Amino acid sequence: MPAPGSAAAQDSNGHEGSMGMMMMQMYFTASTHVTLWLKQWHTHTSVWYIISLLGLLGLSLLQEFISSYRATLARRLAKERPVEQEVPLTAPSARVGSGSRVVLTVLYAVNVAISYLLMLAVMTYNVGYFVIIVLGLAIGHFVFFCAASPMAAPDVCCAAALP
C-alpha cells in the first residue's frame, strides 16, 4: 500500500484517498480560507473573506426582500381578483392575469435559487458564513416583514378568530 502523500496514493487530479473521492469536512471552522460555490471563488486573503461575508449578507437581505415582495404582490393580486372569480387553467379566459402568475412564479424561482445558494454557503461549515447568513435573514425578516407589512396583517378569514 502506498504511503499517504506519495504520488501512488494520489489520483490523476492530485487528490489523496481511495477511488479519487474528496472528503467533505463535517465540522465548523473559523478559517478565512474558504471555497464558496466555485473552485475559483476561494478567499485567499482576509479582504476577500470580508467581501464574501458582505456578499452573503446582501444575498440574505435580498432573499427576505423578495419573499416579502412576493407575498405582498400575491396578496394584492388576490384582492384584485377574488377567489370566486378564478377560472380553471383549461378555460379560454385563463390567459387573463396569467402575466401576474408568471411574475409570481419567476419571483418564487429566484427565491428558491437564492435559498439553495445560501444553504450551500452554510454547508461550507464556516462559522463566519453561518453567522452572517442567519444574521442577514433575521435582519431582513425584521425590516421587510415589519408590523406594517401585509405579511404581518391577519387575513380576513382569520381576523375573526383573533381575540
Where are any strands of DSSP class E within the chain? none
- Mean pLDDT, residues 76-89 taken together: 64
Name the pTM for this structure.
Answer: 0.67
Residue 10: count of CB within 10 angstroms of its CB? 15
The amino acid sitting at 128 is: G
42-74 per-position pLDDT tens digit: 888 889 999 999 999 999 999 999 999 999 988
pLDDT above 60: residue 9: no
Cβ atoms of 125 and 27 closer than 8 Å = yes
The per-residue pLDDT for 138 is 96
